[in-house]
Amino acid sequence: LDGVKQSSLNGDAGYHESLVHPGMFMHDDPKRVAIIGGGEGATLREVLKHDTVEKCTMVEIDELMVMTSHKYLKEWSDCSDIVGSAEWCVDDPRADVRYEDAVAWFIDRFGDGVAEAEKKFHEDDYVPFDVIIMDALDPQVNIPFAEVLYKQPAFLQSIYDSLTEDGIIVMQLGDAPSIHDPSDQVGRNENRAIITEHLLRMGFESVHVYEEKHSDFGDPWSYLVAMKDFTARTNWYLNVAEIEVAIKDRIKHTYSGKSALRFFDGATMMTYQTPHKAFETIYCRNKPVPQGCDEISKGFSKSRPNAPVSSFEVKASQVGDQAGRGIFAKVDIPKGAYIGVEQSMNSIKVTPTTYDIISSHVEEYVEAAGFDAVVEFLWGYGFESNLYVSVECFTVDQRFLDEIYVYLSHKG
């Protein structure tokens, strides 16, 4: 389109499933969804695979693009295999396609100053959305409409206001960065930096970037998910099994009996949970340098000394006859030194679901009584953390695990 590759048959599933499903599964029950753009119909197709969806409003300015895609690119908008849908996704009873300017559409309905008495559209147009998916122009495209999409505060604020209190926005951000790129604040990726800053300033409580290399665009493609409610963050860090269960429970069946998802699954989602190094690298090239980009804030500083596990030993304590054994340093340990950095990867994180399963088994099954020791271990030596999820999980710090390592290595 206008000389810019928009999609390909080989990359259809890779692009559209990685755009739609991570954000959709972050919401526990997405009923109302909006799509900005998505002219070829594939984004709509993926949304309609979720059986929770009651209505999906697609606002696309280019009706000719939709009709041309339907005529020549039928695979992109083919919903014929989805149980309860239609041959053309646009004809699905849950689809509401508007051939309008999305910027004006959202500002007219959810912009500042839209008083109750001035509402001139159907009342359903003013009902907030659970998920909004922005499948529009790449932020790197240098045309006026792209500038409006990514830089106009009034439009972005109307998007925020059009979401429910636990609403989620998803957008594609163009080709993914490399470690050799400058900060997004300068050059062709300026819009990507601006939109990210706007989302944080407006009040989105959890923002995640990820990339996918199977979109057939030549370079890996980048995406962003932003959540108004921090608790949705829990769903972002579900494990493979939990995601697979969610897929089985929610994704519609097909007439053919094949999976409706050709690309996205639990293992794929796991690759999105932690941003690639390049995102961190270019972010930390911003001026001024953002908080958290120095070595100490990252949790490791090359300038700080490390006392390896071999610097300690387990021996009888001299405090008293009944004092038992203890861990003692064999050499002087510098103040502020790390302890056993070489063992730091041994930390254990127990997610809320895992902890709940262990606890419920202990309570319900006599045969699981041995798990009491696991629960006692977590309570005795772990600490609660909500760094990754809104519900606190248990983490056993690597320093305690180092002590166990030293103890077991010397126990005789």
Q: Which residues are catalytic?
A: 135
Rounded CA gap, 112 and 372, in Å?
56
Rounded CA gap, 293 and 314, in Å?
37
| CA 288 vs CA 127, 151, 185, 209, 365: distances in Å | 40, 21, 11, 21, 57
Rounded CA gap, 290 and 286, in Å?
7
Question: In this structure, what are the phi and psi dihedrals at residue 170, rounded to the nearest 5 degrees?
Answer: -125, 140
Whether a cis peptide bond, with omega within 30° of 0, leads into 288 is yes
Spacing of C-alpha 122 from chain mean position: 33
| CA 222 vs CA 102, 204, 268: distances in Å | 22, 19, 14
Q: Count the neighbouring beta carbons within 10 Å of the beta carbon of residue 242.
A: 17
Rounded CA gap, 50 and 48, in Å?
5
